[in-house]
Amino acid sequence: MNAKYFLKRLLPGLISMLPFTFAIHKNQNFMKRFFTISLLIICANAASAQSGTILVGGDVAYSSGKGPGGPGGDFKSNSLSFNPYIGYQFNNHWTAGVVAGISTAKQEQGPNEQKGSNFSAGPFVRYTKTVSDIFALYGQLEGRFGSGKSKSNGITLSEGTFNSVNLFPAAFINLKNNFGLNFNFGGISYGSNKPEGGESNTNFNLNFGKVANIGISKNFGGKRK
């Protein structure tokens, strides 16, 4: 697994996703510049990489609940989110690739039902500092373009598009053969969303220590230095 393989196989796949993501928010110049810069970083690293591995990982979250809902009937809810990613690890420090996010939610009370769904995708760049054979720290910068929709009893209530840039620190614990757990506890994010037929709005979030995410990842191929 080397830079030549990356340029022939993985890089075309990354490039093929860019028209899709740009189409979602083609008027967001800031996000376009971010994607362009990210792609340049990927190409620059690929040109100088001597060896590497394919990194595959992600996290899954599911929740459900139910209880008495009063005259309207019992209340039920469930939600599911899946955030996979794949990247090329150029060396012991730099990794770049594509991250995606899929989420759904449903609430029911008597005959009434509400559903919501979101999808997003974009590039990421990660810098890792290995502390020991089983522990590493990394910082990740990623951008996402996405769309979402909500319905009530089959009727669309709202839909729109959104984008974000996220920066967060995290830790990796190597359980065995580069398969391990990833932990992060929040970071910094900047984004915007635009409901269909409405005006776009922006938001900035700083949530260090306010959230906790746990995922898994595995490196395939190559030899780590």
Average pLDDT over residues 206-212: 84
pLDDT attached to residue 209: 79
In whole angstroms, give the CA distance from residue 207 to residue 224.
Answer: 33
More confident call, 15 vs 110: 110
Question: Pick the residue with more confidence: 24 or 56?
Answer: 56
Q: Percent of the chain at pLDDT above 90?
A: 55
Write down the pTM of the prediction.
0.71
User: How far apart are the C-alpha atoms of 25 and 80, rounded to whole Å?
Assistant: 25
Assess if residue 225 is contained within a domain.
no
The domain that holds 23 is classified in CATH as 2.40.160.20
Residue 56 lies in a domain: yes
pLDDT value of position 99 = 97
In tens, the pLDDT along 31-80 reads 444 444 444 444 333 333 335 899 999 999 999 998 887 776 788 999 99
| Residue 15, SS3 per DSSP | helix
Domain count, the chain: 1
CA distance 176 to 224: 14
Is 221 contained in some domain?
no
- 143 confidence band (pLDDT: 50, 70, 90): very high
Q: How far is CA 124 from CA 97, 106, 114, 115, 130, in A?
A: 5, 30, 33, 29, 19
Cα separation, 126 vs 137, whole angstroms: 10
Question: Is 222 inside a domain boundary?
Answer: no
Kindly give, in sequence order, each residue whose CB lies less than 8 Å from that of residue 224, ignoring residues fewer than 6 positions away. 53, 92, 178
174 in any annotated domain: yes
216 vs 34, residue with greater confidence = 216
Tell me what the pLDDT averaged over the chain comes to: 80
pLDDT value for 110: 82
Range of the domain at 9: 3-216
Whether residue 101 lies inside any domain: the answer is yes
Q: Is 106 left (phi over 0), alpha (psi -120 to 50) or beta?
A: beta
Type of residue at 94: W
